[in-house]
Amino acid sequence: MDLAPRRSVSPDQRFLGVLDTSPFRIAIVYSIVFACGAAVLLGAVDFAVSQVVDGSTDNLIEAEVQGLREQVLVLSRGDFIELIEQRSQDQDVRGAVYLMVDPQLRPVAGNVPAWPKIAANEGKWIQFKVQVPFGDETREHEMRAQRFPLPGGYRMLVGHDVQERQDVKNLMMRGLIAAVVLTLLMGLGGGFWMGRRILAQAGAISAVATQIMRGDLSQRLPVRQADDEINTLAREINSMLDKIEQLTLGMRTVLDSAAHDLRTPLNRLQATAEGAINQLLPGSVERRVLERVTTEVEHMRSTLDALLRIALAETGTVAREPVDLSELVGSMVELYAPVGEERGILLESAVAAGARVQGSRQLLAQALANLLDNAIKFTPDGGHIRVLLRGTATEPEVVVEDNGPGIPADKREIVLGRRVRLDEARKFPGSGLGLSLVAAVTKLHGARLVLDDAAPGLRVSLKF
């Protein structure tokens, strides 16, 4: 049986707790959405930019190809070579590349060292890399070009250095990745911060709620200045608590005055009768009558006590404290076992240690006493009663089982009502409030009361 209560919260659990909060989860979802958005946006920009830049480069090359095709028709080979050389040197057209090769693909003119060995049809776009001097070193630059034939088996290549464009693209890609990562990180960070805030607020609220459930109705939820949902909710719950407190206080006042107005005359009656008894001779008729009166007062008192305790339990205005249920059940069994033994009834028990509940020790004791009283009352001489405490430390179950006549299934609901005594029970003494008090006390402690067939006999279970 697992009776280890979980109490303290380690920093690890608190950290994991934040991961479990809804703001953190929402933040994760939103950061992913935003990251995807950023990616799509940057992708679109990149695409648009490439379209424009690539398009303008390609147009430039195509125009140059067109111009050279026309020039080659009107110029002599020597002039054409000179033209190519001239254009190759021309610093105004930055990045333009030219190469004219003879039928053996040996360079004749131009600023590209060698004919790229790429199997592509003339007129198609090709991409190739060329070593370009860059200060004291050389750098490999990406080139984009078109090739076309010249008369006499010569061939021509016209292209453009697109390295810069590639660099821009790479930069944009890096920027895009950085933006996505940053969005994710900021989202996670923000979510974590919000989660901690919510957790702190929720923690404060649940601490107060626990105290309120213990019966301290004067507690209120903490409210901050802000007008957010949590504070609004807390304010509304607080005004609801005000109302509940007022109502219960009102009920308590009514109960107290009812108690006072009944106990005071009963006390007078008791005092008057007792006072008169002492003046009378033992055995006289008058004395016997007055003794009857005091017996009845005693009976009324015990009924009144039971009714008041039921009413108190039902209004829930009883102070609550931690109750060691294991100790309580053990000591009640110990208290009642000899009573059973007088009639040869065996009172067995199996009580798990360490069970604790929040509540009223005295009311729980009274409820258990009523159950044991009943069990002993209805169990035949020589019978047996079993009392069990089982379940977990925080959710224990108390079972009282006898082998008496039991309660028929269709009457189990009814006996929990007030002052119900089944016909079969009329020959036994009692006020008929015993089980109603058990029911009220069970409810006060948030427990469940179940009457069941112990075949034969009655099984009463209180599940906390």
Partner 1 sequence: MHILIVEDDQVARDYLAKALRDVGHTVDVATNGLDGLQMASSMSVDLAIVDRMLPKLDGLALVQSLRATGRKMPVLILSALGDVDDRITGLRAGGDDYLTKPYHMSELLARIDALARRGDSGNAESNTKLKLADLELDRMTRRVTRNGKKIELTAREFQLLEFMMRHSGQVVTRTMLLEGVWDYHFDPQTNVIDVHISRLRQAIDKDFDKPLLHTVRGAGYSLREDE
Residue 442 sits in the site that holds partner 1 (CB under 8 A): no
Would you state the structure tokens that stand for residue 446, as one six-digit string? Answer: 């948030």
Residue 170 sits in the site that holds partner 1 (CB under 8 A): no
Residue 366 sits in the site that holds partner 1 (CB under 8 A): yes
**Residues whose CB is less than 8 angstroms from the CB of residue 159 and which lie 6 or more positions away in sequence, other chains included:** 61, 96, 97, 98, 112, 143, 144, 145, 146
Residues 323-352, one symbol each (x = binds partner 1 by CB under 8 A, - = not), give --------x--xxx-xx-xx----------
> 22-74 and 77-89 helices cross at what angle (nearest 10)?
150
Positions 286 through 315 that interact with partner 1 (CB under 8 A): 294, 297, 301-302, 305-306, 308-309, 311-312
Q: State how far the Cα of 407 lies from the Cα of 435, in Å rounded to an integer.
A: 12
Among 183, 370, 379, 403, binds partner 1 (CB under 8 A): 370
Number of H helices, E strands in the chain: 9, 12
Are 392 and 359 spatial neighbours (Cβ–Cβ below 8 Å)?
A: no
Positions 214 through 243 that interact with partner 1 (CB under 8 A): none
Among 145, 333, 376, 398, binds partner 1 (CB under 8 A): 376
Residue 316 sits in the site that holds partner 1 (CB under 8 A): no
Among 123, 275, 417, 456, binds partner 1 (CB under 8 A): 275
Among 226, 260, 381, 455, binds partner 1 (CB under 8 A): 260
Residue closer to partner 1, measured from CB, 28 or 258: 258
Instruction: Report in angstroms how near the CB of residue 351 gets to partner 1 at its nearest.
Output: 15
Instruction: Report in angstroms how near the CB of residue 422 gets to partner 1 at its nearest.
Output: 17
Position 403, amino acid? N
Size of the site for partner 1 (CB under 8 A): 48
Position 261, amino acid? D
Among 268, 419, 426, 448, binds partner 1 (CB under 8 A): 268
Cis peptide before 11 (omega within 30 of 0): no
Q: Of the listed pieces 11-19, 72-80, 194-202, 360-368, which binds partner 1 according to CB under 8 A? A: 360-368
Residue 365 sits in the site that holds partner 1 (CB under 8 A): yes
Q: State how far the Cα of 123 lies from the Cα of 121, in Å rounded to an integer.
A: 6
Would you state the structure tokens that stand for residue 206, as one six-digit string? Answer: 């649940």
Among 430, 443, 450, 452, binds partner 1 (CB under 8 A): 430
Q: Of the listed pieces 100-108, 148-156, 164-172, 270-278, which binds partner 1 according to CB under 8 A? A: 270-278
Instruction: Report in angstroms how near the CB of residue 434 gets to partner 1 at its nearest.
Output: 8
Q: State how far the Cα of 372 lies from the Cα of 366, in Å rounded to an integer.
A: 10
Instruction: Report in angstroms how near the CB of residue 427 gets to partner 1 at its nearest.
Output: 16
Q: State how far the Cα of 216 lies from the Cα of 220, in Å rounded to an integer.
A: 10
Q: State how far the Cα of 449 lies from the Cα of 442, in Å rounded to an integer.
A: 6
Are 437 and 412 spatial neighbours (Cβ–Cβ below 8 Å)?
A: no
Q: State how far the Cα of 128 lies from the Cα of 97, in Å rounded to an integer.
A: 12
Using a CB cutoff of 8 Å and minimum separation of 24, what contacts does 228-231 make? 230/198, 230/201, 230/202, 230/205
Site residues for partner 1 per CB under 8 A: 255-256, 259-260, 263-264, 266-272, 274-275, 294, 297, 301-302, 305-306, 308-309, 311-312, 318-319, 331, 334-336, 338-339, 341-342, 360, 362-363, 365-366, 369-370, 373, 376-377, 429-430, 434
